[in-house]
């Protein structure tokens, strides 16, 4: 059996569980997500192979 996990869904799952457990984390998780997406948009993700 071969299981392939991609980065996005795993991060979304972990973030969802953390938000359910500790609702105060919502602001920090959203802020971190927006910063990461902004940096990837500015510098490109062509050289990243996750």
pLDDT at residue 3, as a whole number: 60
Chain segment 5-48, per-residue pLDDT in tens: 667 778 778 888 888 888 888 888 888 888 888 888 888 765 55
Question: Are residues 18 and 7 in contact, defined by beta-carbon separation less than 8 angstroms?
Answer: no
7-21 and 25-43 are packed helices; what angle lies between their axes, rounded to 10 degrees? 160
C-alpha–C-alpha distance, residues 32 and 29, integer Å: 5
pLDDT at residue 2, as a whole number: 60
At residue 4 the predicted structure's pLDDT band, cuts being 50, 70 and 90, is: low
pLDDT at residue 44, as a whole number: 76
pLDDT at residue 49, as a whole number: 54
Q: Is the dihedral of CA 43, 50, 4, 33 positive or negative?
A: negative
């Amino acid at each position: 059996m071969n299981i392939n996990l991609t980065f996005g869904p795993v991060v979304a799952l972990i973030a969802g569980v953390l938000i359910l457990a500790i609702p105060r984390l919502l602001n920090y998780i959203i802020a971190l997500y927006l910063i990461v997406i902004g940096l990837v948009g500015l510098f490109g993700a062509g050289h990243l192979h996750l």
